Amino acid sequence: MPISEPQRIVVAVDLDYFFAQCEEVRHPELKARPVVICVYSGRTEDSGVVSTANYVARSFGVKSGIPIVNAKKLLDKLPEAVFLPTDLEYYETTSDKIMQELRSHSKMFERVSIDEAFIDVSSECNGNYSRAAEIGKGIKSEIRNKQSLTCSLGIARNKSLAKMAADSKKPDGFVVLHPDHIEPFLKDLPVRKLIGVGSKMEAMMQSLRVRTIGELSAFDESKLIGVFGKNMGTRFKLLARGIDHDPVEEKIAEQYSRIITLKTDADSFSFAKELTPLVEDISNWLKVSKRRCRTIGVIYVTSTIKLKNRSNTLSTGTDSAEEILAQASMLFERIFASEEKGSQKIRRIGIRVSKLSEDSPKPDAPSSLTHYFDKSS
DNA sequence: AACAAGGGTTTAG
DNA sequence: TCATCTAAACCCTTGTT
Protein backbone atom coordinates (compact mmCIF):
# COMPACT_ATOMS: atom_id res chain seq x y z
CA MET A 1 0.00 0.00 0.00
CA PRO A 2 1.60 3.20 -1.17
CA ILE A 3 1.95 5.71 1.59
CA SER A 4 -0.36 8.67 1.47
CA GLU A 5 1.47 11.95 1.61
CA PRO A 6 0.83 15.21 -0.19
CA GLN A 7 3.12 15.39 -3.20
CA ARG A 8 5.93 17.66 -2.13
CA ILE A 9 9.53 17.92 -3.21
CA VAL A 10 11.92 19.21 -0.58
CA VAL A 11 15.57 20.13 -0.95
CA ALA A 12 17.87 19.94 2.07
CA VAL A 13 21.09 21.95 1.85
CA ASP A 14 23.83 21.31 4.35
CA LEU A 15 27.06 23.32 4.09
CA ASP A 16 30.04 21.03 4.60
CA TYR A 17 32.19 21.40 7.77
CA PHE A 18 31.02 24.98 7.60
CA PHE A 19 33.19 26.99 9.98
CA ALA A 20 36.37 25.23 8.92
CA GLN A 21 35.46 25.56 5.25
CA CYS A 22 34.89 29.29 5.70
CA GLU A 23 38.43 29.56 7.03
CA GLU A 24 39.75 27.60 4.06
CA VAL A 25 38.06 30.07 1.74
CA ARG A 26 39.86 33.07 3.15
CA HIS A 27 43.09 31.14 3.71
CA PRO A 28 43.28 28.64 0.82
CA GLU A 29 46.69 27.42 1.97
CA LEU A 30 44.87 25.71 4.87
CA LYS A 31 43.04 23.30 2.59
CA ALA A 32 45.72 20.61 2.68
CA ARG A 33 46.23 20.94 6.43
CA PRO A 34 44.20 19.80 9.43
CA VAL A 35 41.96 22.71 10.48
CA VAL A 36 40.27 22.70 13.87
CA ILE A 37 37.79 25.42 14.86
CA CYS A 38 37.74 25.82 18.63
CA VAL A 39 35.40 27.30 21.23
CA TYR A 40 37.78 28.45 23.95
CA SER A 41 36.17 28.76 27.37
CA GLY A 42 38.89 31.09 28.65
CA ARG A 43 39.41 29.03 31.77
CA THR A 44 42.94 27.87 30.92
CA GLU A 45 45.06 28.17 27.80
CA ASP A 46 43.44 25.33 25.87
CA SER A 47 40.24 24.60 27.75
CA GLY A 48 37.23 24.32 25.54
CA VAL A 49 35.91 22.07 22.80
CA VAL A 50 36.14 21.54 19.09
CA SER A 51 33.33 23.17 17.17
CA THR A 52 34.16 21.83 13.70
CA ALA A 53 37.11 20.29 11.93
CA ASN A 54 37.86 19.87 8.27
CA TYR A 55 38.08 16.38 6.78
CA VAL A 56 41.87 16.30 6.99
CA ALA A 57 41.63 16.74 10.76
CA ARG A 58 38.70 14.30 10.95
CA SER A 59 40.82 11.57 9.40
CA PHE A 60 42.90 11.73 12.60
CA GLY A 61 39.86 11.34 14.83
CA VAL A 62 39.19 15.01 15.51
CA LYS A 63 35.47 15.78 15.62
CA SER A 64 32.91 18.18 17.04
CA GLY A 65 32.59 18.20 20.79
CA ILE A 66 35.90 16.72 21.86
CA PRO A 67 38.15 18.76 24.19
CA ILE A 68 40.65 20.95 22.37
CA VAL A 69 43.41 19.34 24.39
CA ASN A 70 42.47 15.92 23.02
CA ALA A 71 42.41 17.25 19.48
CA LYS A 72 45.92 18.59 19.99
CA LYS A 73 47.08 15.17 21.14
CA LEU A 74 45.56 13.54 18.09
CA LEU A 75 47.44 15.98 15.87
CA ASP A 76 50.66 16.31 17.80
CA LYS A 77 52.73 14.69 15.06
CA LEU A 78 51.46 17.26 12.59
CA PRO A 79 53.07 20.66 13.00
CA GLU A 80 51.01 21.93 10.05
CA ALA A 81 47.75 21.51 11.98
CA VAL A 82 45.97 24.78 12.75
CA PHE A 83 43.68 25.62 15.65
CA LEU A 84 41.52 28.69 15.19
CA PRO A 85 38.94 30.36 17.41
CA THR A 86 35.44 30.77 15.95
CA ASP A 87 34.78 33.96 14.03
CA LEU A 88 31.00 33.86 14.11
CA GLU A 89 30.54 37.25 12.49
CA TYR A 90 32.39 36.12 9.42
CA TYR A 91 30.48 32.83 9.26
CA GLU A 92 27.17 34.65 9.71
CA THR A 93 27.99 37.00 6.86
CA THR A 94 28.85 34.11 4.57
CA SER A 95 25.76 32.21 5.67
CA ASP A 96 23.50 35.21 5.06
CA LYS A 97 24.73 35.58 1.48
CA ILE A 98 24.05 31.93 0.77
CA MET A 99 20.67 31.91 2.46
CA GLN A 100 19.63 34.92 0.43
CA GLU A 101 20.46 33.01 -2.74
CA LEU A 102 18.64 29.91 -1.59
CA ARG A 103 15.58 31.92 -0.72
CA SER A 104 15.27 32.98 -4.33
CA HIS A 105 14.51 29.42 -5.41
CA SER A 106 11.17 29.20 -3.68
CA LYS A 107 8.75 31.16 -1.58
CA MET A 108 8.81 28.20 0.80
CA PHE A 109 12.13 28.39 2.54
CA GLU A 110 13.41 27.51 6.01
CA ARG A 111 16.75 28.39 7.53
CA VAL A 112 17.37 25.67 10.09
CA SER A 113 20.72 26.85 11.38
CA ILE A 114 23.75 28.79 10.25
CA ASP A 115 24.69 26.02 7.82
CA GLU A 116 21.43 24.27 6.94
CA ALA A 117 18.26 25.07 5.05
CA PHE A 118 15.21 23.49 3.46
CA ILE A 119 13.56 24.60 0.25
CA ASP A 120 10.15 23.32 -0.80
CA VAL A 121 10.26 23.29 -4.59
CA SER A 122 6.90 21.57 -5.13
CA SER A 123 5.33 24.45 -7.02
CA GLU A 124 8.32 24.91 -9.30
CA CYS A 125 8.67 21.20 -10.08
CA ASN A 126 5.13 19.93 -10.30
CA GLY A 127 6.10 16.46 -9.14
CA ASN A 128 8.98 16.19 -11.56
CA TYR A 129 12.14 14.97 -9.82
CA SER A 130 14.30 15.75 -12.83
CA ARG A 131 13.35 19.39 -12.51
CA ALA A 132 14.13 19.23 -8.81
CA ALA A 133 17.50 17.68 -9.57
CA GLU A 134 18.28 20.51 -11.99
CA ILE A 135 17.41 23.06 -9.33
CA GLY A 136 19.58 21.17 -6.88
CA LYS A 137 22.53 21.09 -9.26
CA GLY A 138 22.02 24.80 -9.84
CA ILE A 139 22.14 25.45 -6.11
CA LYS A 140 25.34 23.52 -5.72
CA SER A 141 27.11 25.39 -8.52
CA GLU A 142 25.78 28.70 -7.30
CA ILE A 143 27.27 28.12 -3.85
CA ARG A 144 30.48 26.85 -5.37
CA ASN A 145 30.83 29.72 -7.85
CA LYS A 146 29.80 32.58 -5.59
CA GLN A 147 31.22 31.49 -2.23
CA SER A 148 33.71 28.76 -3.17
CA LEU A 149 31.96 26.40 -0.76
CA THR A 150 30.79 22.84 -1.11
CA CYS A 151 27.55 21.55 0.35
CA SER A 152 25.73 18.27 0.65
CA LEU A 153 22.31 18.25 -0.85
CA GLY A 154 19.37 15.90 -0.53
CA ILE A 155 16.10 15.87 -2.43
CA ALA A 156 13.06 13.91 -1.31
CA ARG A 157 9.36 14.17 -0.62
CA ASN A 158 9.74 15.60 2.91
CA LYS A 159 12.22 17.26 5.22
CA SER A 160 13.30 14.23 7.17
CA LEU A 161 14.02 12.17 4.06
CA ALA A 162 15.73 15.07 2.30
CA LYS A 163 17.96 15.50 5.32
CA MET A 164 18.76 11.82 5.52
CA ALA A 165 19.52 11.81 1.81
CA ALA A 166 21.93 14.72 2.27
CA ASP A 167 23.54 13.00 5.27
CA SER A 168 24.05 9.83 3.25
CA LYS A 169 26.74 11.37 1.06
CA LYS A 170 29.15 13.86 2.58
CA PRO A 171 30.96 16.02 1.82
CA ASP A 172 29.95 17.54 -1.50
CA GLY A 173 27.13 15.04 -1.94
CA PHE A 174 24.09 15.12 -4.16
CA VAL A 175 21.35 12.56 -3.54
CA VAL A 176 17.92 12.47 -5.12
CA LEU A 177 15.68 10.08 -3.25
CA HIS A 178 12.84 9.24 -5.61
CA PRO A 179 9.63 8.09 -3.87
CA ASP A 180 10.03 4.61 -5.41
CA HIS A 181 13.39 4.19 -3.70
CA ILE A 182 12.43 5.24 -0.18
CA GLU A 183 11.73 1.76 1.16
CA PRO A 184 15.01 0.22 0.04
CA PHE A 185 16.86 3.35 1.19
CA LEU A 186 15.46 3.11 4.73
CA LYS A 187 15.22 -0.64 5.16
CA ASP A 188 18.73 -1.53 6.33
CA LEU A 189 19.82 1.82 7.74
CA PRO A 190 20.64 1.72 11.47
CA VAL A 191 17.96 3.48 13.56
CA ARG A 192 20.63 5.95 14.67
CA LYS A 193 20.44 7.52 11.20
CA LEU A 194 16.83 8.51 11.75
CA ILE A 195 16.40 12.21 12.52
CA GLY A 196 15.75 12.51 16.25
CA VAL A 197 17.35 9.23 17.25
CA GLY A 198 20.52 9.91 19.21
CA SER A 199 22.54 7.64 21.46
CA LYS A 200 19.88 7.31 24.19
CA MET A 201 17.01 6.47 21.88
CA GLU A 202 19.27 4.11 19.98
CA ALA A 203 20.09 2.29 23.22
CA MET A 204 16.40 1.99 24.09
CA MET A 205 15.63 0.64 20.64
CA GLN A 206 18.50 -1.80 20.96
CA SER A 207 16.88 -3.21 24.09
CA LEU A 208 13.70 -3.65 22.06
CA ARG A 209 15.75 -5.59 19.51
CA VAL A 210 15.17 -2.87 16.95
CA ARG A 211 18.34 -2.23 15.00
CA THR A 212 17.31 -0.98 11.58
CA ILE A 213 14.76 1.50 10.34
CA GLY A 214 13.04 -1.35 8.53
CA GLU A 215 12.61 -3.19 11.83
CA LEU A 216 11.35 -0.02 13.46
CA SER A 217 8.74 0.50 10.75
CA ALA A 218 7.37 -2.98 11.46
CA PHE A 219 7.37 -2.60 15.24
CA ASP A 220 4.10 -2.39 17.16
CA GLU A 221 3.14 1.24 17.47
CA SER A 222 1.45 1.01 20.85
CA LYS A 223 4.59 -0.57 22.27
CA LEU A 224 6.64 2.29 20.85
CA ILE A 225 4.25 4.73 22.49
CA GLY A 226 4.60 2.85 25.75
CA VAL A 227 8.36 3.21 25.67
CA PHE A 228 8.88 6.62 24.05
CA GLY A 229 5.65 8.41 24.87
CA LYS A 230 2.79 9.46 22.64
CA ASN A 231 4.56 12.07 20.57
CA MET A 232 7.85 10.35 19.98
CA GLY A 233 6.41 6.89 19.62
CA THR A 234 4.08 8.07 16.89
CA ARG A 235 6.72 10.19 15.23
CA PHE A 236 9.35 7.44 15.14
CA LYS A 237 6.87 5.04 13.60
CA LEU A 238 5.94 7.55 10.90
CA LEU A 239 9.53 8.59 10.16
CA ALA A 240 10.54 4.95 9.84
CA ARG A 241 7.90 4.62 7.13
CA GLY A 242 9.20 7.70 5.39
CA ILE A 243 6.32 9.92 6.48
CA ASP A 244 6.87 13.45 7.71
CA HIS A 245 4.30 16.22 7.32
CA ASP A 246 6.38 18.95 8.92
CA PRO A 247 6.10 21.94 6.57
CA VAL A 248 9.00 23.96 5.23
CA GLU A 249 8.48 27.30 6.91
CA GLU A 250 10.42 29.90 8.86
CA LYS A 251 10.10 29.42 12.59
CA ILE A 252 10.02 32.35 14.96
CA ALA A 253 12.33 32.14 17.95
CA GLU A 254 10.61 31.01 21.13
CA GLN A 255 13.52 31.49 23.49
CA TYR A 256 16.80 33.33 23.71
CA SER A 257 19.68 32.54 26.02
CA ARG A 258 23.25 33.41 26.86
CA ILE A 259 25.59 31.26 28.91
CA ILE A 260 29.25 31.64 29.87
CA THR A 261 31.92 29.62 31.63
CA LEU A 262 33.26 31.07 34.89
CA LYS A 263 37.00 31.44 35.37
CA THR A 264 36.70 29.36 38.52
CA ASP A 265 33.81 27.42 39.98
CA ALA A 266 31.60 29.37 42.38
CA ASP A 267 29.92 28.25 45.59
CA SER A 268 28.22 31.57 46.28
CA PHE A 269 26.59 34.31 44.24
CA SER A 270 29.95 35.97 43.65
CA PHE A 271 29.53 36.31 39.90
CA ALA A 272 26.83 38.99 39.86
CA LYS A 273 28.98 41.23 37.68
CA GLU A 274 29.34 38.53 35.04
CA LEU A 275 25.62 38.65 34.45
CA THR A 276 25.60 42.21 33.15
CA PRO A 277 26.80 41.56 29.61
CA LEU A 278 24.43 38.60 29.31
CA VAL A 279 21.49 40.68 30.43
CA GLU A 280 22.45 43.58 28.15
CA ASP A 281 22.65 41.22 25.19
CA ILE A 282 19.28 39.67 25.96
CA SER A 283 17.51 42.96 26.60
CA ASN A 284 19.00 44.37 23.43
CA TRP A 285 17.83 41.39 21.43
CA LEU A 286 14.31 41.71 22.81
CA LYS A 287 14.21 45.40 21.89
CA VAL A 288 15.65 44.94 18.42
CA SER A 289 13.26 42.11 17.65
CA LYS A 290 10.40 44.03 19.26
CA ARG A 291 9.46 41.33 21.70
CA ARG A 292 8.96 40.90 25.41
CA CYS A 293 9.54 37.94 27.65
CA ARG A 294 7.30 36.72 30.41
CA THR A 295 9.49 33.89 31.68
CA ILE A 296 13.00 34.63 32.91
CA GLY A 297 15.25 31.80 33.94
CA VAL A 298 18.79 31.06 34.93
CA ILE A 299 20.76 28.13 33.59
CA TYR A 300 23.80 26.73 35.31
CA VAL A 301 26.20 23.87 34.93
CA THR A 302 27.76 22.29 37.99
CA SER A 303 31.39 21.22 38.34
CA THR A 304 30.24 17.72 37.43
CA ILE A 305 28.69 19.09 34.20
CA LYS A 306 25.11 18.66 35.30
CA LEU A 307 22.81 21.15 33.61
CA LYS A 308 20.18 22.79 35.82
CA ASN A 309 17.74 25.61 35.54
CA ARG A 310 15.35 27.72 37.59
CA SER A 311 12.75 30.03 36.17
CA ASN A 312 9.99 32.40 37.04
CA THR A 313 7.02 33.57 35.02
CA LEU A 314 5.83 37.14 35.40
CA SER A 315 2.27 38.33 34.94
CA THR A 316 3.42 40.84 32.36
CA GLY A 317 6.13 40.79 29.69
CA THR A 318 9.33 42.81 29.85
CA ASP A 319 12.35 43.78 27.79
CA SER A 320 14.06 45.71 30.56
CA ALA A 321 17.65 44.81 31.41
CA GLU A 322 17.13 45.89 35.03
CA GLU A 323 14.11 43.71 35.47
CA ILE A 324 15.74 40.67 33.88
CA LEU A 325 18.84 41.14 36.01
CA ALA A 326 16.73 41.46 39.16
CA GLN A 327 14.88 38.24 38.38
CA ALA A 328 18.04 36.33 37.50
CA SER A 329 19.83 37.53 40.62
CA MET A 330 16.89 36.49 42.75
CA LEU A 331 16.95 33.00 41.27
CA PHE A 332 20.69 32.60 41.84
CA GLU A 333 20.38 33.94 45.40
CA ARG A 334 17.66 31.40 46.00
CA ILE A 335 19.81 28.56 44.65
CA PHE A 336 22.64 29.33 47.06
CA ALA A 337 20.29 30.14 49.92
CA SER A 338 18.40 26.87 49.67
CA GLU A 339 21.80 25.15 49.93
CA GLU A 340 19.92 22.14 48.56
CA LYS A 341 21.85 18.96 49.18
CA GLY A 342 25.48 18.27 48.42
CA SER A 343 25.67 21.82 47.08
CA GLN A 344 27.60 21.39 43.88
CA LYS A 345 29.85 24.21 42.80
CA ILE A 346 28.86 26.11 39.68
CA ARG A 347 30.99 26.08 36.56
CA ARG A 348 28.85 27.86 33.96
CA ILE A 349 26.07 30.40 34.31
CA GLY A 350 23.50 31.75 31.94
CA ILE A 351 20.17 33.46 31.49
CA ARG A 352 17.28 32.40 29.33
CA VAL A 353 14.11 34.25 28.43
CA SER A 354 11.03 32.62 26.96
CA LYS A 355 7.28 32.99 26.63
CA LEU A 356 8.04 35.67 24.11
CA SER A 357 5.32 37.94 22.82
CA GLU A 358 4.99 40.66 20.27
CA ASP A 359 6.22 43.91 21.70
CA SER A 360 3.33 46.28 21.94
CA PRO A 361 -0.16 45.43 23.08
CA LYS A 362 -0.37 42.57 25.55
CA PRO A 363 2.02 39.82 26.57
CA ASP A 364 -0.40 36.99 26.02
CA ALA A 365 -3.90 36.23 24.86
CA PRO A 366 -6.43 36.49 27.66
CA SER A 367 -6.82 33.05 29.17
CA SER A 368 -10.56 33.25 29.40
CA LEU A 369 -13.46 35.28 28.14
CA THR A 370 -15.41 34.88 31.35
CA HIS A 371 -13.54 37.90 32.61
CA TYR A 372 -15.16 40.06 29.95
CA PHE A 373 -18.58 38.48 29.82
CA ASP A 374 -19.33 37.93 33.42
CA LYS A 375 -22.08 35.41 33.77
CA SER A 376 -25.36 37.09 33.08
CA SER A 377 -26.95 34.49 30.82
C1' DA B 1 -10.16 16.82 31.14
C1' DA B 2 -7.47 20.53 29.68
C1' DC B 3 -4.08 23.76 30.55
C1' DA B 4 -0.12 26.36 32.70
C1' DA B 5 4.13 26.29 35.02
C1' DG B 6 8.52 24.46 36.48
C1' DG B 7 12.20 21.43 35.88
C1' DG B 8 14.68 17.58 33.58
C1' DT B 9 16.23 15.03 29.25
C1' DT B 10 17.48 14.40 24.58
C1' DT B 11 18.81 15.85 20.15
C1' DA B 12 21.07 18.71 16.81
C1' DG B 13 24.44 21.69 14.79
C1' DT C 1 41.38 13.35 31.52
C1' DC C 2 38.08 16.79 29.90
C1' DA C 3 33.83 18.44 29.32
C1' DT C 4 31.12 25.32 24.43
C1' DC C 5 27.17 27.41 23.21
C1' DT C 6 22.29 27.87 21.43
C1' DA C 7 17.66 26.29 20.44
C1' DA C 8 13.89 23.16 20.12
C1' DA C 9 10.93 19.31 21.34
C1' DC C 10 9.49 16.36 24.47
C1' DC C 11 8.69 14.14 29.15
C1' DC C 12 6.96 14.19 33.87
C1' DT C 13 4.88 16.27 37.95
C1' DT C 14 2.07 19.48 40.24
C1' DG C 15 -1.49 22.70 40.66
C1' DT C 16 -5.57 25.24 38.80
C1' DT C 17 -9.83 25.73 36.41
pLDDT in tens, A167-187: 999 999 999 999 999 999 999
pLDDT at residue number A5: 80
Query: A338: Cβ under 7 Å from strand C?
Result: no
- Whether the pLDDT of residue A115 is over 50: the answer is yes
Each residue's pLDDT tens digit, A265-296 = 999 999 999 999 999 999 999 999 999 999 99
The more confidently predicted of residues A340 and A78 is A78
| pLDDT at residue number A2 | 56
Q: Which residues, listed in sequence order, are joined to residue A257 by a DSSP beta bridge?
A: A352
Region A60-65: what's the mean pLDDT? 97
Q: Which nucleotides of C are covered by protein (CB under 7 A)?
A: 1-12, 17
- Give catalytic status of residue A116 as yes or no: yes
Which pLDDT does position A371 carry in this prediction? 37
pLDDT at A373: 34
* Res. A374: pLDDT tops 80: no
What local confidence, expressed as pLDDT, does residue A338 receive? 84
Output the pLDDT for position A340: 61
pLDDT at residue A361 above 70?
Answer: no
The percent of residues in chain A predicted with pLDDT above 90, rounded, is 91
C15 C1' – A52 CA distance, angstroms? 45
Q: How confident is the model at residue A372 (pLDDT cuts 50, 70, 90)?
A: very low
Residue A376 has pLDDT above 50, yes or no: no
Complete edge-to-edge strand list for the sheet that includes strand A255-266: A255-266, A346-358, A291-302, A307-318
Average pLDDT over residues A121-134: 98
* pLDDT band at residue A369 under the 50/70/90 scheme: very low
A230 touches strand C (CB under 7 A): yes
What are the pLDDT digits (tens) for A294-345?
A: 999 999 999 999 999 999 999 999 999 999 999 999 999 999 998 665 678 9
Total-model pTM: 0.93
Confidence of residue A360 (pLDDT cuts 50, 70, 90): low
**Distance, CA of A242 to C1' of B9, in Å:** 26
- Please give the distance of CA A102 from its chain centroid, rounded to a whole number: 19
CA distances from A95 to A153, A277, A373 (A): 16, 26, 51
Query: Which residues on adjacent β-strands are paired with residue A302?
Result: A346
Across A26-35, average pLDDT: 98
Nucleotide nearest to A229 (CA to C1'): C11
Distance CA A11, CA A110 (A): 10
pLDDT of res. A375: 31
